[in-house]
Amino acid sequence: MPPATAAPINDVDDVRAAAGGDRQAFQRLYRAHAERIYGALYRLAGFDHARAEDLTQDAFVRAWQKLGEFRHESAFGTWLYRLAVNVALMDIRARRSDPVRTMDDEDLPEQAESPFCAAEREELERAIARLPPRARAVLVLHDVEGWRHEDIGTELDMAVGTSKAQLHRARGLLRKILENGHE
């Protein structure tokens, strides 16, 4: 029996079929991976539903366009995830000068499973959304997605030391935002 972390067996067949133009195979790939991709992009987009949905769609369009370049050296889900994060990071770079908007309560997500109570989760998500985009990206990629600073530096075109400094800055800002919320 294959390990639980292995990609679904039908991914290989569906990837090959989709690369050949089979839209139904690509639809199956979309259904199998959309939730995970959306979740990562949602966090990178500062918990902005509309932006995360747009980024998710952009990522799948890009995947469809680049499917012929997929070399099967890793699982399709890994390749797709990396491609999607790159789409989000390009968006962050493009919006670099744009201020981060503050979210209203009705913009907050409603997720069932969380180690925090709903109020704590909402407060944390609001605080993360208020971080500057590059600091938020480093924090999410490192602390939530588990990326190494070397990989973050490569993807965000920054030195490893800068990635570490951005993470330190993001954590400090996050602490300050959360502390000010309790005053």
178, 127 Cβ separation under 8 angstroms: yes
Q: Which CATH architecture has domain 8-98?
A: Orthogonal Bundle (1.10)
Distance CA 10, CA 93 (A): 35
Q: Tell me how far apart the alpha carbons of residues 163 and 139 are, in angstroms, rounded to a whole number.
A: 9
Higher pLDDT, 155 or 118: 155
The total of other beta-carbon atoms located within 10 Å of residue 34's CB is 16
Which amino acid belongs to residue 58?
D
- Please, where are the H alpha helices in the chain? 9-19, 23-44, 49-66, 76-94, 118-129, 133-139, 149-156, 160-181
Tokens representing 141 are 């990629």
- Choose between 143 and 182: higher pLDDT: 143
CATH topology of domain 105-183: Arc Repressor Mutant, subunit A (1.10.10)
Location of each CATH 1.10.10.10 domain in the chain: 105-183
Report yes or no on whether pTM surpasses 0.85.
no
CA distance 110 to 178: 20
Q: Where in the chain is the domain with CATH 1.10.1740.10?
A: 8-98
pLDDT digits (tens, 9 = 90+) for 88-115: 888 877 776 343 343 343 443 444 444 5
Per-residue pLDDT averaged across 160-178, rounded? 92
Amino acid at 147: W
Query: pLDDT tens, 23-53?
Result: 999 999 999 999 999 999 998 888 899 999 9
CB neighbours of residue 130 within 10 Å: 16
- Reported as a single tens digit per residue, the pLDDT across 126-146 is 888 889 988 999 999 998 888
Nearest to 127 by CA among 94, 171, 92: 171
